[in-house]
A and B are shown apart, each in its own frame.
Chain A
Amino acid sequence: MDFRALVIILMGAVLVNNYVLRQFLGICPFLGVSKDLKNATGMSIAVIFVMLMATAATWPIQFYLLDRNGLGYLQTIVFILIIAALVQLVETVLKKYIRVLYNALGVYLPLITTNCAVLGVTIANIGKGYTFAQSMVNALGSGLGFLLAMVIFSGVRSHIESSDPPESFKGLPITLISAAILSLSFFGFGGVIENLFGS
């Protein structure tokens, strides 16, 4: 197993190709839930959890079921159904057996079904031709990137609260412009991973 390649995928997903700030996946929760740090963290952890499980479920199904039988065109439907079912299952299991976790995360789970980032990462794993290990690492990295963006942004938003932009910019527009600046700052990571791990 090429350990270096895995590290590159991980760091790349978190910093360079950050799902929210570069690839525009997961914007809805990013704008909606990042106001409060506690909610932001809770949501992100739930997202990481679902991403990992969704990858673990969808990758084998793609390779052993869909591709072997020429059913590649069913990918979209099958993947989104798996994600929806997974989320439902996790919610039920948590509610019944791990109440503490359910109280912390349960509320975010339905939102995650329609989160572009989760479906996005499962499709991307296949598109990039990753092995199972690489896919899991990619999912972890993407989730961590999501967490990073959410946490940083909730800090930024708490500052926006105390500012006073022009009337029409209040609320969403000024939030988006702040997101732009955050995204710009992440551009600085381009090339860092390359030069840390490159030969």
Chain B
Amino acid sequence: MVKDFIKPIAVLSLICLVISCALAVTNGFTKPVILEAAAMRAEEARYAVLPQATGFEPLGVEGLPASVREAYRSENRVGYVFVIAAGGYGGEMILMCGVGADGKLVKSTTLEHSETKGLGSKVTESHFEDRFVGLSGGFDGVEAITGATISSTAYISAISDALQAYLTIEEGS
């Protein structure tokens, strides 16, 4: 009876232990690679939304709108890059916005989203994202995507938060 009970549990526990160790070891190898690749992708994305920048220095996000996750100032002072988390239709939507030194949006891009494919996901298409280029406010005239009101609204609120963050920083300095 005891043998019936002890052996199965022991074998199962041993297997769990061995697997966990193997995974911990592999994690040790792969985690740095993953983080490095992610950092490179983030850097590339920053250059994509603010092409004239030469380098980026991170800023603190205290005092900025709540949805701003990260803020960067370009080293050659041509503008700022903000990473914004908006509440979309299918969950969080992460955007990266480049705001020029003149307070106008240079470019915006979606990093992550869980919007409905074919509907809300259209906010990531260039014909929608381009509507915001060069704006520094006044989004009333911008058309939302038909049938994707929530995704569009989330996107727009993210952009206005980015512009707000710009104003906050400029006022502070």
Q: Are any A and B Cβ atoms less than 8 Å apart in their complex?
A: yes
Interchain residue pairs with CB less than 8 A apart (19):
A12-B116, A17-B116, A73-B27, A74-B23, A77-B19, A127-B114, A128-B91, A128-B114, A129-B91, A129-B92, A190-B119, A190-B147, A191-B119, A191-B147, A194-B147, A194-B148, A194-B150, A197-B150, A198-B150
Q: A145–B75 Cα gap in the complex (Å)? A: 51
CB of A127 to closest CB in B, whole Å: 7
Q: Is A100 an interface residue (CB 8 A)?
A: no
Q: A16–B146 Cα gap in the complex (Å)? A: 16
Pick from A8, A128, A191, A198: contact of B153, CB under 8 Å:
A198
Contact A194 B119 (CB under 8 A): yes
Q: Is A63 an interface residue (CB 8 A)?
A: no
Q: Is B52 an interface residue (CB 8 A)?
A: no
Contact B90 A128 (CB under 8 A): yes
Q: Is A162 an interface residue (CB 8 A)?
A: no
Q: Is B80 an interface residue (CB 8 A)?
A: no
A interface majority secondary structure: helix
Q: Is B20 an interface residue (CB 8 A)?
A: yes
Q: A73–B116 Cα gap in the complex (Å)? A: 27
Which residues of B are found within 8 Å of A16, using beta-carbon distances? Answer: 116
Question: Which B-chain residue is minimally distant from A13 (CB atoms)?
Answer: B90
Asked if A128 meets B87 with Cβ closer than 8 Å, knowing A73-B23, A194-B149, A198-B150, the reply is: no
Q: A73–B120 Cα gap in the complex (Å)? A: 30
Pick from A12, A17, A198: contact of B149, CB under 8 Å:
A198
- If A73-B27, A77-B20, A128-B90 are given as contacts, then 5 extra A-B residue pairs at C-beta distance below 8 Å, sorted by A number, are A128-B91, A190-B118, A191-B119, A194-B150, A198-B150
CB of B38 to closest CB in A, whole Å: 13
Question: Which A-chain residue is minimally distant from B152 (CB atoms)?
Answer: A198
Question: Which B-chain residue is minimally distant from A130 (CB atoms)?
Answer: B91
Q: A103–B90 Cα gap in the complex (Å)? A: 37
Contact B90 A17 (CB under 8 A): yes
Residue tally, chain B, CB below 8 Å to A: 20
List residues of A (116-134) whose CB comes within 8 Å of B's CBs. Answer: 127-130
Q: Is B89 an interface residue (CB 8 A)?
A: yes
Which residues of A are found within 8 Å of B92, using beta-carbon distances? Answer: 128-129
CB of B52 to closest CB in A, whole Å: 32
Which residues of B are found within 8 Å of A185, using beta-carbon distances? Answer: none
Q: A172–B20 Cα gap in the complex (Å)? A: 40
Q: A112–B119 Cα gap in the complex (Å)? A: 32
Q: A11–B90 Cα gap in the complex (Å)? A: 11
Q: Is A168 an interface residue (CB 8 A)?
A: no
Question: Which B-chain residue is minimally distant from A134 (CB atoms)?
Answer: B91
Which residues of A are found within 8 Å of B148, using beta-carbon distances? Answer: 191, 194
Which residues of A are found within 8 Å of B119, using beta-carbon distances? Answer: 190-191, 194
Q: A16–B147 Cα gap in the complex (Å)? A: 12
Question: Which B-chain residue is minimally distant from A191 (CB atoms)?
Answer: B147
Contact A8 B147 (CB under 8 A): no
Question: Which B-chain residue is minimally distant from A17 (CB atoms)?
Answer: B116
Which residues of B are found within 8 Å of A163, using beta-carbon distances? Answer: none
Contact A195 B91 (CB under 8 A): no
Question: Which A-chain residue is minimally distant from B31 (CB atoms)?
Answer: A73
